[in-house]
Amino acid sequence: MKFMIVGRGNEETEAGVMPSQELVDAMTAYNESLVKAGVLLAAEGLYPSSHGARIAYSGGRATVLDGPFTEAKELIAGFWLIQVKSREEALEWAMRVPVPAGRDGVGLHVWQVFDPTDLPPESMSPETAERERALRGSLEGHEGA
């Protein structure tokens, strides 16, 4: 099972404030523990929303809305993608994320990642299933490139 652990943004991350060396060291140790356990698939921090955009839809048309975005509490600052055996194991890993003192409230979200293999076999034609397998195989061949 794949899970995404999403770290919430705040005023500091939106302002581009770099984390302390102590937090960087703690995050590095955390990421190393994920790697040693063989569960880490990806982990990245995100730039502030001033470097991003949103796509809004209205009447079937897409519009680009450039950042920054004012509601920092709705933004994310980074994520981990992990592959574990259960929701409980994902939550155990999420509980270990180092969080600086003074960060009260919801700081992380944990979401199970929907995988095409989770679909019932009858929901996908054999041709579509084969195309999906080929696509996934192609992506695996590009890892680390």
Question: Tens digits of per-residue pLDDT, 21-51?
Answer: 999 999 999 999 999 999 999 999 999 999 9
Task: Tell me what the mean pLDDT of segment 86-95 comes to.
Answer: 97
- For residue 19, give the nearest of 106, 107, 100 by alpha carbon: 100
CA–chain centroid gap for 57, Å, is: 23
Q: Is domain 2-113 in CATH 3.30.70.1060, yes or no? A: yes
Single pTM value for the model: 0.82
Neighbours of 137 (CB within 10 A): 9
